[in-house]
Amino acid sequence: MATAVSRRNRRISPVFLGLAAIMGVSGWAVWTDFSASPGFAVFLFVVSGWIVSLCLHEYAHARTALHGGDISIGAKGYLTLNPLKYTHVALSIVLPVIFVIMGGIGLPGGAVFIERHRIRGRWKHSLISAAGPLTNVAFAIVLTAPFWLGVDGVPEVFRYALAFLAMLQVTAAILNFLPVPGLDGYGVIEPWLSYRVRRQVEPYAPFGLIAVFGVLWIPEVNTVFFDAIDAVMRALGISDWETYWGQQFFRFWKGEPQLY
């Protein structure tokens, strides 16, 4: 199937390369303490890294759909990693970035239109839905490698930036895997539900994410959710201290945090 996609439709977008360059340069500035404002460098590193992860998330959906049988994916530009090609740029890029800035939580995006009727087999449909959040899981593991490998010599502020960016990946993965209509978790189980159940649930899909965030406003639920996030982060070798200071540096507009 992949051979049906032209080279032009698979060429990595300059927009994505620019985002990756910003992530690399700002990460270098944090590592070397080159920036006059460490907080601003952390902000650029986290935001660009977060958008890069969103692009990879959607690319994983698209690439899996291509191999599953939807050869229309290439013509839509989804394989170029260009976030401007997504069906809903505001929902997939702008809104998640705003949520990161406001609350430090990884909001699931959702924006590649897959022609599901071209795909045969329930397992393929489930895998297409799971591919996105699994990419967030993989990205979190890569970001936390210095922690669980016990790598020495990583600058303190850079560790905090990695910890905060990794936490965003974990929150995005957990939220995305919830079996709620409109989220990837529901997409994983949907092919295995009866036609009658799917038809009954379908009208509620646009409101699934809103419902999830409404429920998260309940203090008891919020506590359980973030306790789960903290438990995963600790399993990856990251302490609450490191994610806390990562977020403090990220919010550079509140002034540079004083560690000591």
Structure token digits, residue 118:
């071209």
Residues marked as catalytic: 58
Distance CA 251, CA 40 (A): 8
Single-letter amino acid, residue 78: Y
